[in-house]
Amino acid sequence: MTEATETELMLKGYGLTTAELFYRMPDYRNVLNSYIWQDYDLAPDHDRLLNFVSFWKREIEGELHSVRFTHRKLIAPGEWRQIAGEFPVH
């Protein structure tokens, strides 16, 4: 099984998901750091993001404080508008 290209994923409905994870430093509990994660994911389920958050909770020592994310479909129908007339110049 081959990895799908970004274009193939976008044509299947995937969009670019960007998440900012805020986490506490293990040795300095009062310090918050952030980590940026980006991947192509399907809305509204966001399975890849949820899998990454589960991985973080299971494998990374830094306790998650919060997660902020956005999702954007990059391939969308083009804008179409009807032209009612033509104005020749010169």
The number of C-alpha atoms within 13 Å of 15 and in the hemisphere containing its C-beta is 16
pLDDT digits (tens, 9 = 90+) for 64-81: 999 999 998 877 655 556
Q: What percent of the chain has pLDDT over 90?
A: 58
In a domain, 50, yes or no: yes
Number of domains in the chain: 1
**Contact status, residue 10 vs residue 75, Cβ threshold 8 Å:** yes
In a domain, 90, yes or no: no
Tokens of 23: 């986490």
Alpha carbon distance 48, 73 (integer Å)? 15
Which residue segment(s) compose the domain that 14 sits in?
Answer: 6-72
pTM for the structure as a whole = 0.75
In a domain, 44, yes or no: yes
In a domain, 66, yes or no: yes
- Write phi, then psi, for 82 (nearest 5 degrees): -85, 135
pLDDT attached to residue 7 = 83
- Burial level of 72, CB count in 10 A (0-12/13-18/19+)? exposed
In a domain, 80, yes or no: no
In a domain, 25, yes or no: yes
